[in-house]
Amino acid sequence: MAQEEKNDRQATLCLIKPDAVKAGNAFTIRQRIEKEGFNVAIMRKETLTKEKAETFYQEHKERSFFNDLVTFMTSGPIYMLKLVKPNAIKDWRSLMGPTDSAKAKQENAQCIRALYGTDVQQNAVHGSDSEASAKRELDVMFPDLVGLKAGFLSPRDYMKRALEMMKDVYSEVHAINVDGWEEKTIENTKKELTDKNIKVVAGYSQKDAFHHILFNEFLGYPVPSRKAFLYCMNKYLMRTIEKDAFWYDFVDPINEDFATICAKIKEYPFMLKNTSLSLGRGIFSISDEKKLKVVLEDYKADKALQDSIAYQMGVFSKGLEKKDIPNLPPFISEHKVDINSTIEYCYEGFVTPDGKLIHYALTEEVYFKNHSALGYLTPPMSLPKDKVKLIQDWVEGYMSGYIKLGYINQFFNLELWLSDKDEVFLTEINPRAAHSFHYNYLYSFGTRLYEDNMELARGADVTAISEYNPWTLWLGNYSFSYTLIVLITVKETGKLTDILDWDYVNQLETKDNILIRYNRQKGDTLVENDMTSAGCMILQMWIVGETAKALIGKETEIRSKIYKNPQSGNDYPAYWKV
């Protein structure tokens, strides 16, 4: 698990030199670094210019080897890493080993230079030798980060650890809390950014996706087009981008009569959903025309829901010419997926400013036998790697439509179905980085989604992010751990103190150092209105296992101890066995 504590943390520079990069050892070296307890705050890939190399090695300018050293260091790409941990400088130099690789092999056969170096010059890695050197060298290698202030849009309580870690990269990180899209609110926030000299912002939850675009556009960065964003935020429009989609059609209860709507329905049962991605209300499984009529009549009487859908679509359409605004129906009818023959995955990717799609990560949604959610698992456990290309090809085809609409310089998250017939279907697209999966990627692979999102937004070089991420590491057979977001739901009403063992919850959080997100609080009392078909979500917690067996064992132990009363329906799938 990547280090997260902020106590007495020290920064140093690591360079993975051209010889190690050319030999294909860079990623293995980084993973060894992380295994030894270092936190990689940021990594960049660059081929040094002669001027930058000379500036970096200026203390050796009068030495006989200076010109050869500059020539070597500019001969190919290097990776530049900012390493953070207590005693980072001393510990990194110890892990590197002696400057002469031959001497390193004699004195410490397991140090980096012994394993991957050749001689005194081609010795795989560089490290700062003092705090003063570390500061100077980091400033030379990451000049754009010197004094850079960043804004984190509306952080939630469980994000505090990550917010602290982000300060390893940026000089200051400010929480920017924004509520709504009213013009006055947006202008006040722009003023706040200016007054605090904040140069980049990033949002991670769905409600912050539009703010992410508005404020980074204000700060001068390329952002997705309004049309591309609108197509993301409307469940009907996002379906029109999909090639070979299953059956779907729009439904407009205000402007279509019931007979017209019924004539368009091709199958029962089907799903009927309000088309606003941001609204959780208005999602129904329709079994027959009688149920359909009841739902549509309820909608026609629900002025608040109508106004909410219209308001959001109006906000996201603002600035578009009338000819560019497509039909925005309030509902979509679509095929109801057989969840007995499909598995849902959460795909994470981003599009560069020049329109290149980058695969970033894949997470599996794990369900109990009754189809209630067990958790979110990174990387997938039940997906054979020869099936990954099905998802990859589908994503590339689907996102080509969004790139044509102007979706650039932004992360996105796709929820997908993969059927037992190897068919891939869209569940929905979210135009932002998936905030809760940051910890999955951090714990499993040592990568940092929050910082990667920030770097992409501000136009930094993302070559290293494109090459070294959860997707490439998993498929490249590098080492990783399994991380699961355990979903603790309750299916009974009453006081939560009578349902969950809160002493055990406290032990998990304080003694076992498990990150917990509180969806509900210890003192809450649940009533019938809190219940969905899956119950009520109370907690989310991140657990890690070096192996699938270890992870499953930890999850089953937690679930067996956390409930005072056993919850019905928690029967595990066949592969979820210790």
Could you give the CA distance from residue 144 to residue 128 in angstroms, rounded to a whole number?
19
**Helix (H) or strand (E) run with residue 404 in it:** helix 388-405
Rounded to 5°, angle at Cα 437 from 85 and 573: 120
From residue 515, alpha-carbon distances to 35, 188, 503, 505 in Å are 20, 34, 15, 11
The 10 Å Cβ neighbour count of residue 311 is 12
Measured between its terminal Cα atoms, the distance across the chain in Å is: 22
- And the tokens for 14? 């690591």
**Sheet hosting strand 172-176, strand order edge to edge:** 172-176, 149-153, 200-202
Peptide bond preceding 379 in cis form (omega within 30 of 0): yes
Residue type, 303: K
**Per DSSP, what are the bridge partners of residue 365?**
376
Report H helices in 13-58.
18-22, 26-35, 50-56
Burial class (CB in 10 A: 0-12, 13-18, 19+), 504: middle
What are the phi and psi torsion angles at 353 (to 5°)?
Answer: -60, -30
Could you give the CA distance from residue 373 to residue 466 in angstroms, rounded to a whole number?
31
Report H helices in 117-182.
131-141, 160-166
- The gap from C-alpha 540 to its chain's centroid, in whole angstroms, comes to 16
* SS3 per residue for 292-354: HHHHHHHHHHCHHHHHHHHHHHHHHHCCCCHHHCCCCCCEEEEECCCCCCEEEEEEEEEECCC
Q: Of 17, 25, 28, which Cα lies nearest the Cα of 446?
A: 28
- And the tokens for 547? 């192996």
- The gap from C-alpha 293 to its chain's centroid, in whole angstroms, comes to 40
Could you give the CA distance from residue 446 to residue 38 in angstroms, rounded to a whole number?
10
Dmax over CA atoms of the chain, in Å, equals 89
> At how many degrees (to 10) do helices 226-233 and 209-218 cross?
170
- Has 126 been annotated as catalytic? yes
- And the tokens for 92? 């990194």
Q: Of 192, 195, 244, 277, which Cα lies nearest the Cα of 398?
A: 244
**Which of the following is catalytic: 60, 126, 359, 435?**
126
Q: Of 384, 386, 346, 385, which Cα lies nearest the Cα of 366?
A: 346
Q: Give catalytic residues, as residue numbers.
A: 126
